Amino acid sequence: MKKRLFATGLAMAMALPFGASAADYVIDTKGAHASINFKVSHLGYSFTKGRFNTFDGEFSYDPANVSASKVTVNVDTTSLDSNHAERDKHIRSSDFLDVSKYSTATFTSTSVVDKGNGKLDVVGNLSLHGVTKPITIDAEFIGAGQDPWGGERAGFSGTTRLELADFGIAVMGASSYVDMELFVEGIQK
């Protein structure tokens, strides 16, 4: 009897690390394994692409219970970088983002919907330019596992389109929206 109990206990203990369970992650911005990118129409003639260089966040992910997942991201809007200093100065000005007044944008999820095959809808509230609105990020699970340094990582990509006027941001020409492209790799806490 003792041998059977010991064997059952050992089997359960060995299975636990390999079973799916919720894990908390910090977004890896120090290793530059995450990015928040944007693309916006320039007067309807071309596109301007850029990114936000400074942000942080964390997320919780459980592949066995995706709906219990959560994400929070804080973006330093003063870190906007379109690879053109004068344009960046203009976008940061009160004509558009007004970063002297609204230096942080935040996203906090309210639900995560499993659409199957690694596809997710991450629904939440985005606070940008002093306005908070619900948005949906079309996300995809990229992968998870052990890194070369003994840590555990998980990665996702996502896209969403933001209507600038919804956040009280001026529209110039055909530039009524901005497309966001997100890459998030987290290190398990």
User: H-helix or E-strand containing 138?
Assistant: strand 131-146
Instruction: State if pTM tops 0.75.
Output: yes
Is 4 domain-assigned?
Answer: no
Whether 118 is covered by a domain: the verdict is yes
Domain assignment present for residue 145? The answer is yes
Whole-angstrom distance, CA of residue 81 vs CA of residue 115: 33
pLDDT in tens, 2-31: 444 334 343 333 333 334 568 999 999 998
- What is the pLDDT confidence band of residue 106, given thresholds at 50, 70 and 90? very high
Query: Whole-angstrom distance between the N-terminal and C-terminal Cα of the chain?
Result: 39
| Domains: count for the chain | 1
- Which tokens sit at 46? 């071309």
> Does 153 have pLDDT greater than 90?
yes
| Residue 73, beta-bridge partner list | 57, 107
pLDDT digits (tens, 9 = 90+) for 25-72: 999 999 899 999 999 988 878 899 999 999 999 999 999 999 999 999
DSSP state for residue 170 in the 8-state scheme: P
Domain CATH for 75:
2.40.128.110
Alpha-carbon span 139 to 157, nearest angstrom: 6
Q: State which residues form the domain around 183.
A: 20-188
pLDDT band at 174 (very low <50, low <70, confident <90, very high): low
Look at residue 94 and give its three-state secondary structure: coil
Burial of 20-35, coded b for 16+ CB within 10 Å and e otherwise, reads eeebebebbbeeebbb
